[in-house]
């Protein structure tokens, strides 16, 4: 069905996907609620006397957003692939172990406490969300270890419990919040892309890319672990170490993604699944391709979110669900037949 992977094939597929991504990013940066013309934008930055809104919008608003969407999409997809491998379950997504509720709690605490200070010009919501996400992961991991032997089950259960508890706390806080805080939190929780500073993109981009490369290095071991951890150990893989490393890296890049853009669902669940259906479960291919496809997907979804009901803006999470759902269904129907056909 899928012949085993050759390095040449993988490189070619990655190159094609990367080119597609660049193309998509370019086209989407030209699309938005305001009509801008590339020619006008290219005539250069503004002088104080003659402002050039086309340039401003393209360079200061659109391009940073598109880059951000690509980074977040890649991070969520890569984390999704890894969690699905570690939990041996193709219905896992990066938020399954409490990251979403932890980040949400951090965010709402930041909003309610009304901190006036900023970190490098950014509101503290992002920082608190990041810390909340990581703190929750650490908590879930700890609980999972305590429950002992059947590690994966322990993790899943711990994640469900922590998620439920923190969600209740969030609802409580939201119910007593002032309306503006409530709205700000809801908006953040539903996922949003805004233009970020160059240095934020640089740092976030560096961390996310390094994380994805690290996960790629772990891909052969993830292949074995995704079959069974006892089998993987017999083959000679240091299962505990690989699991901790993969888990930590994916949790980190998810936390970075969530702190940059709020909670965007569906990408981490559907993209790995779809890519696996088409290209097979070999993680050396699944990981890089899912990252690139996830990036493309989110860039397109974000553009749609900005444009469809302009000048208002849909939450990106809504668009990812609306695009992702039917698309995934079609894919499932077409490719499932291939899987179960007689030899």
Interface positions, 113-132, toward another protein (CB under 8 A)? 118, 120-121, 123
Q: Least distance (Å) from another protein to the CB of residue 314?
A: 10
Residue 252, class by beta-carbon neighbours within 10 Å (0-12 exposed, 13-18 middle, 19+ buried)?
A: buried
Tell me how far, at minimum, the Cβ of 164 lies from another protein, in Å.
Answer: 24
Name the segment binding another protein (CB under 8 A); options: 57-65, 165-173, 255-263, 326-334.
57-65
Tell me, residue by residue from 307 to 336, as one string, x for binding to another protein by CB under 8 A and - for no binding: ---xxxx-----------------------
135 binds another protein (CB under 8 A): no
Q: Does 194 bind another protein (CB under 8 A)?
A: yes
Under rule CB under 8 A, residue 213 binds another protein: yes
Cβ nearer to another protein, comparing 146 with 175: 175
Q: Decide: is 106 part of the binding site for another protein (CB under 8 A).
A: no
HSE-CB for 254 with a 13 A CA cutoff:
38
Residue 236 binds to another protein (criterion: CB under 8 A):
yes
Task: Find tokens 């669902």 and name the residue.
Answer: 265
Q: How far is the CB of 105 from another protein (least distance, A)?
A: 17
90 touches another protein by CB under 8 A? yes
Among 166-174, 214-222, 263-271, 320-328, which window interacts with another protein (CB under 8 A)? 214-222
CA 200 to chain centre: 16
Nearer Cβ to another protein (164/194): 194
Residue by residue, DSSP assigns 138-176 as: HHHHHHHHHT-SSHHHHHHHHHHHHHHHHHHHHHHHHHH
Indicate the residue among 207 and 257 with the shorter CB distance to another protein. Answer: 207
Distance of closest approach, residue 152 Cβ to another protein, in angstroms:
11
**Closer Cβ to another protein, 70 or 162, answer by number:** 70
Backbone angles phi, psi at 119, to 5 degrees: -110, 110
Q: Which of residues 266-285 bind another protein (CB under 8 A)?
A: 276, 280-282, 284
User: What are the residues whose beta carbons fall under 8 Å from the beta carbon of 173, sequence distance 6 or more?
Assistant: 105, 108, 109, 112
Q: Please work out, in degrees rounded to the nearest 5, the angle formed at the alpha carbon of residue 329 by the alpha carbons of 327 and 306.
A: 30
Q: Is 43 in the site for another protein (CB under 8 A)?
A: no
| Cβ-based burial of 329 (10 A; exposed 0-12, middle 13-18, buried ≥19) | exposed
Contact flag: residue 150 with another protein (CB under 8 A): no
Q: Is 101 exposed, middle or buried (0-12, 13-18, 19+ CB in 10 A)?
A: buried
Token duo for residue 190: 């539903």
Which tokens go with 153? 């089950």
- List the one residue out of 261, 154, 281 whose CA is nearest residue 219: 281
Question: Whose Cβ is closer to another protein: residue 38's or residue 227's?
Answer: 227
* Minimum CB distance to another protein, residue 175 (Å): 8
* Torsions phi, psi for 122 (to 5 deg): -110, 150
Distance CA 175, CA 330 (A): 39
């Amino acid at each position: 069905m899928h012949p085993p992977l050759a390095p040449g094939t993988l490189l070619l597929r990655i190159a094609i996907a990367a080119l597609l991504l660049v193309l998509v990013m370019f086209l989407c940066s030209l699309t938005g609620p305001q009509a801008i013309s590339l020619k006008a934008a290219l005539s250069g930055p503004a002088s104080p006397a003659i402002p050039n809104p086309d340039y401003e919008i393209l360079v200061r608003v659109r391009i940073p957003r598109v880059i951000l969407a690509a980074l977040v999409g890649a991070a969520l997809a890569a984390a999704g692939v890894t969690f699905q491998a570690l939990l041996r379950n193709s219905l896992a997504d990066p938020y399954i172990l409490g990251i979403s509720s932890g980040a949400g709690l951090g965010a709402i605490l930041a909003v309610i406490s009304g901190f006036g200070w900023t970190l490098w010009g950014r509101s503290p919501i992002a920082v608190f969300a990041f810390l909340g996400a990581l703190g929750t992961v650490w908590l879930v991991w700890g609980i999972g270890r305590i429950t002992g032997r059947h590690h994966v089950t322990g993790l899943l259960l711990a994640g469900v419990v922590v998620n439920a508890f923190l969600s209740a706390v969030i609802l409580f806080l939201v119910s007593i919040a002032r309306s503006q805080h409530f709205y700000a939190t809801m908006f953040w929780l539903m996922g949003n892309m805004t233009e970020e500073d160059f240095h934020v993109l640089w740092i976030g981009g560096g961390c996310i890319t390094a994380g994805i490369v690290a996960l790629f290095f772990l891909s052969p071991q993830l292949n074995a672990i995704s079959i069974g951890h006892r089998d993987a150990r017999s083959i000679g893989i240091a299962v505990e170490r690989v699991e901790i490393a993969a888990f930590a890296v994916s949790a980190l890049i998810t936390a970075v993604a969530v702190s940059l853009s709020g909670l965007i669902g569906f990408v981490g669940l559907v993209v790995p699944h779809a890519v696996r259906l088409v290209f097979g479960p070999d993680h050396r291919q699944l990981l890089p391709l899912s990252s690139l496809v996830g990036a493309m997907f989110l860039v397109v979804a974000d553009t749609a979110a900005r444009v469809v009901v302009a000048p208002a803006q849909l939450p990106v999470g809504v668009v990812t669900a609306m695009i992702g759902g039917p698309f995934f269904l079609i894919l499932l129907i077409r490719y499932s037949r291939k899987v179960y056909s007689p030899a």
